[in-house]
Amino acid sequence: MTHHTAPHASPDTLSADDQSARFLNSPLAEDIAQVLITEQEIKARIAELGAQISADYQGKDPVLVGVLRGVFVFMADLVRHITIPISVDFIGITRYGPSTRTHGVVRLVKDLEIVIENRHVLFVEDVIDTGLSLRYILSGLETRQPASLRICALFNKPRIRLFDLDIAYTGFVLPDKFVVGYGLDYEERYRNLPFVGELNDSAITQQRLPPNAQS
């Protein structure tokens, strides 16, 4: 589900009845060329995902595992739509080396604190792009022998996927574009936008580096 006709997020196009209108006078909104997914659309879809997960994991006491930092916004909203007992834990990774999308090395910088052996693990991601980060993390989690291991991704960009990934729960399919908001950053900014949008060119050139995929 994508929204190419969605409104521009500049002050004249975030309408006053939009929930995101509190960003009307924000300098952040001026950097957004186009809103791809609105705050209301994200909220509605997360409610559906939470209901589905609650039904599927009934009686299983799953562990939700998120990768810092981008997932913190999605995780916080998702868990409040899950109505069964769950545990939540996070891991931290960093990608370094050649900064192109398909290269670079993934390194674990924060491990899980919960023991996942024989537990049902639901791996929660904000966005899956090439799948490189996820493949690295999943292979590490699998060696700990969880009872099951499935993936929930709010945003899925399947077009440039480098690996086959079976994603059990997908929020939205995105085109192969760099986006910000709802936890996703560019140079550590824009995570606090409640919608997802594309940056305009001046926002990208004013800041130092071109967008690239890193956690």
Residues in touch with ligand IMP (CB under 6 A):
70, 126-134, 178-180, 184-185, 213-215
199, 32 Cβ separation under 8 angstroms:
yes
Smallest gap from Cβ 64 to ligand IMP, in A, equals 16
Q: Which stretch binds Mg ion (CB under 5 A): 20-28, 74-82, 161-169, 178-186?
A: 178-186
**Pick from ligand IMP, Mg ion, none: which does 213 bind, CB < 5 to 8 A by kind?**
ligand IMP
| Minimum separation from the CB atom of position 166 to ligand IMP (A) | 15
Q: What is the 3-state secondary structure (H, E, C) of the chain?
A: CCCCCCCCCCCCCCCCCCHHHHHCCCHHHHCEEEEEECHHHHHHHHHHHHHHHHHHCCCCCCEEEEEECCCHHHHHHHHCCCCCCCEEEEEEEEEECCCCCCCCEEEEEECCCCCCCCCEEEEEEEEECCCHHHHHHHHHHHCCCCCEEEEEEEEECHHHCCCCCCCCEEEEECCCCCCEECCECECCECCCCCCEEEECHHHHHHCCCCCCCCC
Among residues 14 and 71, whose Cβ is nearest to ligand IMP? 71
Q: Residue 52's binding partner, choosing from Mg ion, ligand IMP, none, with beta-carbon cut-off 5 to 8 A by kind? A: none
Site for Mg ion in 91-110 (CB under 5 A): none
- Nearest distance, CB of residue 96 and Mg ion, angstroms: 13
User: Which of Mg ion, ligand IMP, none interacts with 198 (beta carbon under 5 to 8 A by kind)?
Assistant: none
Site for Mg ion in 24-63 (CB under 5 A): none
Residue 127 binds which entry of Mg ion, ligand IMP, none, CB below 5-8 Å type-dependent: ligand IMP
Identify whether 61 is a catalytic site residue: no
Active-site residue, selected from the candidate residues 17, 129, 176, 185:
129
- Which residue, 20 or 156, is less far from ligand IMP as judged by CB? 156
Residue 57 or 64 with smaller CB distance to ligand IMP: 64
Q: Within a 10 A sphere around the Cβ of 206, how many other Cβ atoms?
A: 8
> In whole angstroms, what is the distance from residue 106 CA to residue 64 CA?
21
Identity of residue 16? A
The residues that are catalytic are 129
Residues that bind Mg ion (CB under 5 A): 185
